[in-house]
């Protein structure tokens, strides 16, 4: 059935073409659109101009080849497929449904998936990730303050990390900018984590406070002669804990 403009419940929509079967085409959209008010299972917006800050929402919504998209455009929907350009095959698909497995976010060329983020919280990349950080680090609960570059040890009596002390289990080096971070609870900022945890680099290249180590023929040791790794030409340490 055709849908008339009054079926869309909110602000001014100036139509230069039509609203039919849940399709809004070639329109200047200057207000907010509630796709759930359109009497069709899905709403499709194609070749429209988004001229003002607005919110578009609905249970299923497809936006195809908008001529203009305002920088402050927001889309709120449980199932969204956005084709942002007719000149390229790339698109962004956000298809998450609570309780169901499947892709929540997918970035593709149109034929090949480049990145997917699924409803279990797992991310996949076709060719890997590129990052400026040079180490893999994890958050460890700490018993005392630790600063970037500190050698970090585990106090086996408390099960918490601290600035390395003789007799500790050697863990790594406190990292200011890891390439990858583990044991990071969703929704907590680094500032919140730093109150009771320390970010410790376990693998990779890290800067270290040279006063806390000794270097013998390029091999780096802790104050009690445990091997930490090797000194690199850039002044960092390649961690190799045995």
Domains of the chain, with CATH numbers? 5-125 (no CATH), 135-239 (2.40.300.10)
Cα–Cα distance for residue pair 45/37, rounded to 1 Å: 14
- The Cβ of residue 64 has, within 10 Å, a number of other Cβ atoms equal to 18
Q: Tens digit of pLDDT for each residue in 133-146? A: 999 999 999 999 99
Q: How confident is the model at residue 242 (pLDDT cuts 50, 70, 90)?
A: confident
Q: Tens digit of pLDDT for each residue in 25-41? A: 545 555 555 454 444 44
Q: What is the average per-residue pLDDT within 173-187?
A: 94
Is the separation of the CB atoms in 49 and 68 below 8 Å? yes
Q: How confident is the model at residue 114 (pLDDT cuts 50, 70, 90)?
A: confident
List the one residue out of 96, 94, 120 whose CA is nearest residue 107.
94
Q: How confident is the model at residue 155 (pLDDT cuts 50, 70, 90)?
A: very high
Sign of the Cα pseudo-torsion (8, 9, 11, 12, in order)? positive
Q: Tens digit of pLDDT for each residue in 223-236? A: 999 999 999 999 99
Cα–Cα distance for residue pair 76/96, rounded to 1 Å: 12
Judge whether residue 166 has pLDDT over 60.
Answer: yes
Tokens of 19: 């609203």
Is the separation of the CB atoms in 203 and 229 below 8 Å? no
Is the separation of the CB atoms in 161 and 154 below 8 Å? yes
What pLDDT is attached to residue 107? 77
Judge whether residue 62 has pLDDT over 90.
Answer: no
Q: What is the DSSP letter of 68?
A: B
**Which residue would you say has higher pLDDT here, 4 or 93?**
93
What pLDDT is attached to residue 120? 75
User: H helices of 80-218, where?
Assistant: 190-194
What pLDDT is attached to residue 117? 80
């Amino acid at each position: 059935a055709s849908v008339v403009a009054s079926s869309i419940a909110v602000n001014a929509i100036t139509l230069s073409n039509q609203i039919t079967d849940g399709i809004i085409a070639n329109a200047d959209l200057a207000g907010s659109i509630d796709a759930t008010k359109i009497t069709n299972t899905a709403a499709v917006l194609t070749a429209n101009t988004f001229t003002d800050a607005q919110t578009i929402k609905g249970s299923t919504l497809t936006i195809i080849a908008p001529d203009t998209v305002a920088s402050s455009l927001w889309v709120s929907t449980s199932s969204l497929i956005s084709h942002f350009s007719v000149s390229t095959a790339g698109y962004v698909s956000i298809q998450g449904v609570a309780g169901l497995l499947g892709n929540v976010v997918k970035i593709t060329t149109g034929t090949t998936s480049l990145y997917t983020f699924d409803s279990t919280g797992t991310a996949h990349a076709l060719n890997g990730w590129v990052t400026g950080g040079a180490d893999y680090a994890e958050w460890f609960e700490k018993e005392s303050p630790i600063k970037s570059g500190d050698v970090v040890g585990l106090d086996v009596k408390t099960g918490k990390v601290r600035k390395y002390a003789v007799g500790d289990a050697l863990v790594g080096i406190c990292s200011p900018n890891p390439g990858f971070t583990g044991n990071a609870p969703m929704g907590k900022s680094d500032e919140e984590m730093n109150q009771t945890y320390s970010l410790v680099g376990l693998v990779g290249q890290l800067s270290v406070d040279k006063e806390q180590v000794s270097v013998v023929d390029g091999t780096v040791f802790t104050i009690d002669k445990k091997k930490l790794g090797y000194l690199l030409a850039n002044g960092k340490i390649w961690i190799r804990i045995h």
